[in-house]
Amino acid sequence: MKVAAVQLSSTAEKAANLEAADRLTRAAAADGARVIVLPEKWTVLGSDEDLRAGAETLAGPAISWARALARELAIDLVAGSIAERLDDGTAAAAPASATPLAEPRGGGKLANTSVHIDPQGEIRAVYRKLHMFDVEVGGRAYCESAVTEPGEEIVLSATADGVGLGMSICYDLRFPELYRILALGGARVLALPAAFTLTTTRDHWEVLVRARAIENQAFVIAANQIGAHPGGQHSGGRSLIVDPWGVVLAQAHDREGHILAELDLGHQEEIRARFPALANRRPEVYSRPVEALR
């Protein structure tokens, strides 16, 4: 199964972002990719005001474009993440087959939302980012929760070929519990749209992506943003595709573009059979209350 990660340098200019996403997604498909992942906030990346101004529902132009392109190219497309508007009651524009979907909430906040679209152009799954990026890094304070409502559901999808596809976004990468649950639920490929900061990309990105691949014996398709964005943000690029042994199959240069890799699902089965770390778990021990350790 050939897959691709698209690396973008998104700004607050939605039309330019869409043009770049369209061009690079088509290029990846022309190179044979059947599963393509876009980065986080590919439609608009900038200040809180930029995100609010560029937010839209799942019935809006961004996901409509993604659905039409996935159908045209006959690909599974993980449409990165968008700033999803939640407060008008139209955000739940996904079929009952998508598993599971958190209901949109009001209150004027947005969701950081990733959408998996199948080769028929149908929405297969919708995932709203669980973990809010409320941190200080690189001399700057970030507070994603100021404008974004966290999701409440772990979402496992599947490609058109029936390969389990775990959904996640950016800061989720630092929470291994999420990926273990996805792997135990059947995920063989983990999708990670991201806008990792320059500082954390240089020091943590590859280590964390490879760790999630190794510990869950899963492929990871990690599509990162690259370069400077409005509002003083700067993403580190170096998008990755990693195999279940932790081997980097492809890494992007520090510019917009796409990377490709062939996923050997048979090799993954061999790794899981010969090195059965998932089967050797001791969940009856892990369920012990934390309080008992103190």
Active site residues: 40, 129, 170
Q: Which helix (H) or strand (E) holds 111?
A: strand 110-117
Q: Are 29 and 75 in contact (CB under 8 A)?
A: yes
Strands 219-224 and 189-194: parallel
Q: Which helix (H) or strand (E) holds 84?
A: strand 82-85
> What are the start-end ranges of the E strands in the chain?
2-7, 35-37, 76-78, 82-85, 110-117, 123-128, 134-137, 140-143, 156-158, 164-167, 189-194, 219-224, 226-229, 233-236, 240-242, 248-251, 257-262
Distance in angstroms (rounded) separating the CA atoms of residues 179 and 200:
20
Tokens coding 170: 């950016």
Query: What sign results for the dihedral spanned by CA atoms 277, 131, 171, 3?
Result: positive
